[in-house]
Structure 1
Amino acid sequence: MPRGLSGSGSAQYVVGVDVGSTAVKCHVYDLAAAVRGSGCRKANEAAKENNCCFGTVDTWLLYRLTKGSVFATDYSNASSTGVFEPFTKCWNPTLCNLLSIPMSIYPPVKDTSFNFGSSDSEIFGVPIPIMALVADQQSAMFGECCFHPGDVKLTMGTGGFWNVNTGGNLFASHKDLFTNVDETAKMARSIVDSQGVCFVPGFQISANDPYLCASFMGLKPTTTRNHLVRAILESVAFRNKQLFDIIVKKVHIPLHTVRADGGVSNNDFVMQMTSDLINKKIEKPSNTDMSSLGAAFLAGLASGLWTDKEQLKKLRQVETVFEPQKDMEEYKAAMDTWMQAVKCSLHW
């Protein structure tokens, strides 16, 4: 959104930032050229020139209704951006620094019920006071008169939305399904098999079927939480087997010890089952975040901290080695059932 709040600047850029759980997307709208871009470079330049603002839809509407004289938002809309810190009631400077988003582009955050000014008289013929800005679910909750702690609102429209009035107590969201990956490994080992339950993950484009869906199959009255967990973990190992077989078929070179990393590599059940299925030794390093370590290694070589790759090899620390313990035939029936479940999920 262009600055020019005092009326001295002309409209030039509108920036929209989508902060998700796995990615941050930035779109720049060049009003002068009426062209939509797909990068943050223009926005960064405009921000440095104090000619760029950030806001949700309410901010944009308020800005337009007041002909650029008011730039603000409220707590309910600010909280939906993922950049606003509800505990301190301010924009999160740490997150903004990590994302390289200048703090100067954010609007002041006001109370939801507040005198934000008036619409420009040219729009409706007379100035109309703007006395509130509010996001949809918070507005519905207020409309339901959920004013007391413990009042609950359920909206079922475009989605299902539960909201609870917690009073003056703030509650952070905690994913309490499982505390760590070791817990799921223990759950999977607590039963002899998944009792015929299969989990089909979302393969995205790798299965060449855009309609393939993630699903559980084979559920029974006797199915427990442990069966579901084991089915999920087995699906990871089965998929590893599929991909390994493709590599063996396509890559005609001897394959050595497999080195695993990433969060799932901390799950001993998945690691051991994968080792059994591919009949290969798998090494798990003490540090499973190899992306950051690899970047550090490359930077170290470029800066002269290390002189060659042999020095880097000496820094490797293997925490666990998984060696095949079961024959592939012992998994054949379970994998055949899983493959059948995958076929049933095609063209959903």
Structure 2
Amino acid sequence: MDPEELWGKFMAVMNAAISNAGVSPGDIRCLGLSTQRATFITWDRRNGVPFHNFITWKDIRADALVRHWNSCLTMKAIRFGSSLLYLFVRSKRYLAASVLKFMNIQVNMRLKWVLENNEMVKHLADEGHVMFGTIDTWLIYRLTEGKVHATDYSNASGTALYDPYLEDWNTFFLKVFQMPKSLFPELRDSVGDWGVCSAKFFGVPIPITAVVSDQGASLFGSCSFERGDVKVTLGTGAFLDVNTGSKAHTSVKGIYPVHGWKDKDGLVHMAEASSNDNGTVIEWGQMIGLYEKASETSELASSVKGSEGVFFIPGFQGIQAPVNDTTATGGFLGLSASTTRAHLVRAMLESLAFRIYQIYRAMLTEADHELLSLRVDGGVAQNDFLVQMIATLTGRPVERPKSTEVSALGAAFLAGMGAGIWKSRKELIPLREVEKTFHPQFELQDHLLNQMKQWEKALQRCTKWHSKSGLNKESKAPKGNTIWEAVGQKKETMLLQGREGEGDDDLPDVNYYESSTYHASQASRKEGRKFATERNMINSFSLVLSAILFCLLSSYFYTWL
């Protein structure tokens, strides 16, 4: 994703919003940002020039690294050591670490890939000249003209480079991955002083008073303020988030402890699980000609009494929690000569509801508190058939708001609180508008639960399908907008403006990076990293032996006592 293209679209949306609202920029009290997590970029601290395009959460270039690290001796030692620590200390932080596995959607491995495959970025990072940021960080940096390099706790918690228990960047893994802490932005409360949007963009300075992740904003926008409140976002992917209050959730089923937001009342934790294929399934059905518009699917599914034994597995990108199988595939099972288009569409929508209930059920088994209200948002939440089925499976009323774009509403609410427009969360509850409440159809619940058991059997047929994650093993360098292109673009602009030679001191010394001195130093660095890798393996092996010895001694003394 080209950062300049993103910036252009961001500015276009901002200007359109101001125009459509019929206000002038001077009327705007504050600005709040809600952005997608886990998509990141790195840029030069000295001039703000990006080193590469945004690397999105769907990018799989680091798949080989993910598989390597999940199976390497270092991670085995970390898991084993964490299990021992949990056995004696009983800290849930160590329980979570004992089952830790990395995924492609997390930032950590993709950032490590950049540092391993772009020698220049690695070199400049070691010298403290590289800045890292997710979309929120980069937008704030641009809006404040480089004055603020920061992110909020909710966005940081989605990187897998942050410790939700210590509420800070995970210095242990930063050292393991050899990532300088100078890369990372300052952590700030979601609500507060985020600087001022420069007057050059909208004619007047606008205070930025809130920054929050899309899922955190969605939880806040749905007014899910109580511990146990549940929000389900049905978009491209499906996200089920539970407000866990002041405590981080610990899971052994792939449910992640992340943050919702942080304001003057403190940090709100969330337990989050996702299904990567939700809206993508609807789009796929449209692409292959099952229907012309996504809005037709609910009526099509309702036109038949059942799926006639047909099941669909939404596993284009594997199956996430609680199955956690990246090698799973998707597809239809149970087809017969009498299967119609309506049966296929119904099976697809049923599969999306089954995945949501599968996650909800896992949450129920792990939660140490009751799950309360259930609210949906996102574009796919407009599908009545799907939302009604979720209500019946869970046995809970499901509320759908008038506007399903709840993340934007949450960002506005938080920004307003930061600007003093609202003083407390209670003032926001009357502002939330519910379009429809779907009540459980208990007379159908047993039938659906039995049907789900059959669906889970079909799911088992689709697990462990791809022997090696079913992903491309080749890793390609980020395309477009590299530092070399940026240097050329800036010099070309200077020539056009009659400013040749100006600002060259701010640009990276390209000649140095092409020199024999640089390449010799890089060869030396590679040897150093090879030695460091071997040393890490030895240290990990020593750690495992120490842990085993510790267990044996503990067992001996326990028996002796």
TM-score (norm: length of structure 1): 0.52
Distance 2:293 2:434 in 1: 21
1:301-326 deviation per Cα after TM superposition (whole angstroms, max 9, x unaligned): 00111111111101000000000123
Percent sequence identity is 33
Higher-Rg member (1/2): 1
- 1:204 to 1:334, Cα distance in 2 relative to 1, 3 A: closer
Distance 2:401 2:374 in 1: 11
1:227-265 deviation per Cα after TM superposition (whole angstroms, max 9, x unaligned): 111111001111122122222222232332311111121
Aligned to 1:110: none
In structure 2, the residue corresponding to 1:283 is in which secondary structure? strand
- 1:293 to 1:257, Cα distance in 2 relative to 1, 3 A: same
Distance 1:255 1:295 in 2: 24
Stretches of structure 1 that go unaligned for 5 or more consecutive residues are: 1-12, 49-96, 98-173
- 1:294 to 1:192, Cα distance in 2 relative to 1, 3 A: same
2:384 is equivalent to residue 258 of structure 1: no
| Aligned partner (choices 269, 277, 280) of residue 396 of structure 2 | 280
What is the deviation of 1:221?
A: 2.4
1:110-159 deviation per Cα after TM superposition (whole angstroms, max 9, x unaligned): xxxxxxxxxxxxxxxxxxxxxxxxxxxxxxxxxxxxxxxxxxxxxxxxxx
Aligned to 2:453: 336
In structure 2, the residue corresponding to 1:17 is in which secondary structure? coil
- 1:250 to 1:21, Cα distance in 2 relative to 1, 3 A: closer
2:458 is equivalent to residue 345 of structure 1: no
- 1:175 to 1:218, Cα distance in 2 relative to 1, 3 A: closer
2:407 is equivalent to residue 294 of structure 1: no
Q: Is the 8 A contact 1:14 1:31 kept in 2?
A: no
Aligned to 2:310: 197
Q: Which has the higher helix share?
A: 2
**Paired AA for residue 274 in structure 1:** I
1:53-92 mapped onto 2 (5 Å cutoff): none
Question: What is the aligned length?
Answer: 211
| Aligned partner (choices 320, 338, 344) of residue 228 of structure 1 | 344
TM-score (norm: length of structure 2): 0.33
- 1:214 to 1:32, Cα distance in 2 relative to 1, 3 A: closer
Distance 1:345 1:214 in 2: 7
Aligned to 1:307: 423
- 1:204 to 1:344, Cα distance in 2 relative to 1, 3 A: closer
Distance 1:261 1:231 in 2: 22
Distance 1:234 1:327 in 2: 14
2:84 is equivalent to residue 17 of structure 1: no
Distance 1:276 1:185 in 2: 16
- 1:336 to 1:262, Cα distance in 2 relative to 1, 3 A: same
Distance 1:18 1:179 in 2: 32
Distance 1:340 1:32 in 2: 47
Q: Is the 8 A contact 1:181 1:266 kept in 2?
A: no
What is the deviation of 1:179?
A: 5.2
- Taking CA–CA contacts closer than 8 Å with sequence separation of 6 or more, which of the two structures ends up with the larger relative contact order? 2
Q: Is the 8 A contact 2:393 2:449 kept in 1?
A: no
Q: Is the 8 A contact 2:51 2:121 kept in 1?
A: no
In structure 2, the residue corresponding to 1:199 is in which secondary structure? strand
What is the deviation of 1:176?
A: 9.0
| Aligned partner (choices 183, 208, 211) of residue 296 of structure 2 | 183
1:32-72 deviation per Cα after TM superposition (whole angstroms, max 9, x unaligned): 97568784799x99xx9xxxxxxxxxxxxxxxxxxxxxxxx
- 1:32 to 1:257, Cα distance in 2 relative to 1, 3 A: closer
- 1:39 to 1:319, Cα distance in 2 relative to 1, 3 A: same
- 1:22 to 1:320, Cα distance in 2 relative to 1, 3 A: farther
**Paired AA for residue 330 in structure 1:** H
Q: Is the 8 A contact 2:397 2:437 kept in 1?
A: yes
What is the deviation of 1:347?
A: 1.1
**Paired AA for residue 278 in structure 1:** T
In structure 1, the residue corresponding to 2:413 is in which secondary structure? helix
Distance 2:389 2:459 in 1: 19
What is the deviation of 1:226?
A: 1.4
Distance 2:369 2:324 in 1: 27
Distance 1:321 1:335 in 2: 23
**Paired AA for residue 356 in structure 2:** N
Distance 1:185 1:311 in 2: 36
* RMSD of equivalent CA atoms: 3.7
Distance 2:369 2:292 in 1: 40
Q: Is the 8 A contact 2:306 2:343 kept in 1?
A: yes
1:190-231 deviation per Cα after TM superposition (whole angstroms, max 9, x unaligned): 111111111111244422322111121112222222111111
Distance 1:275 1:14 in 2: 46
Distance 1:253 1:227 in 2: 38
Distance 1:271 1:32 in 2: 46
